[in-house]
């Protein structure tokens, strides 16, 4: 996408469900963060937002023209919020499971050490 005349214009889209004629004039539902950060020279992520196509989390990176050192365009990728939440849940669940197992092992070791200290000596 590119910033032209105060509007965000799509240059290419990988989704064949939308015609370029419907998105070429300008991205009217663009989140405010996108407009504010468009000309920054840093990669950025926009947390959950909603437009007419759904709920999204988006990541963007600038494409810099090396001849004049200006931002030529911005490349972005969207992920459906539900898919993002499912992936994050799985990663968190793994961490919770590992922590739980370590906690149980610590309790078992503590109990064994306490019992071993109270066993009668022969």
Q: In what order do the strands lie in the sheet with 70-80?
A: 44-51, 54-65, 70-80
Q: What is the pLDDT of residues 46-101, one digit of tens each?
A: 888 888 778 889 899 999 888 998 888 888 888 999 998 999 898 899 999 999 99
Q: What is the pLDDT of residue 82?
A: 92
33 or 104: which carries more pLDDT confidence? 104
Cα separation, 122 vs 5, in Å, equals 91
CA–CA distance, 8 with 31 (Å, rounded to integer) = 11
* pTM metric for this prediction: 0.63
Q: Which CATH architecture has domain 2-80?
A: 2-Layer Sandwich (3.30)
Which of the pair, 68 or 118, is modelled with greater confidence? Answer: 68
Please check the confidence at residue 121 and state whether its pLDDT lies above 70. no
Q: Under a CB-based contact definition with an 8 Å cutoff, are residues 56 and 15 in contact?
A: no
Average pLDDT of 31-36? 78
pLDDT over 50 (residue 21): no
Q: Where are the domains of the chain?
A: 2-80
């Amino acid at each position: 996408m590119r910033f032209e005349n105060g509007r965000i214009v799509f240059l290419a889209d990988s989704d064949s469900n939308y015609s370029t004629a419907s998105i070429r004039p300008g991205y009217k539902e663009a989140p405010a963060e996108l407009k504010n950060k468009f000309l920054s020279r840093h990669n950025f992520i926009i947390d959950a937002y909603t437009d007419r196509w759904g709920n999204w989390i988006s990541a963007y990176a600038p494409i810099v023209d090396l001849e004049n050192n200006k931002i030529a365009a911005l490349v972005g990728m969207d992920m459906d919020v539900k898919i993002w939440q499912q992936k994050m849940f799985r990663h968190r669940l793994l961490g919770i499971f590992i922590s739980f197992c370590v906690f149980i092992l610590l309790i078992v070791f503590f109990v064994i050490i306490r019992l071993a200290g109270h066993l009668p000596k022969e």
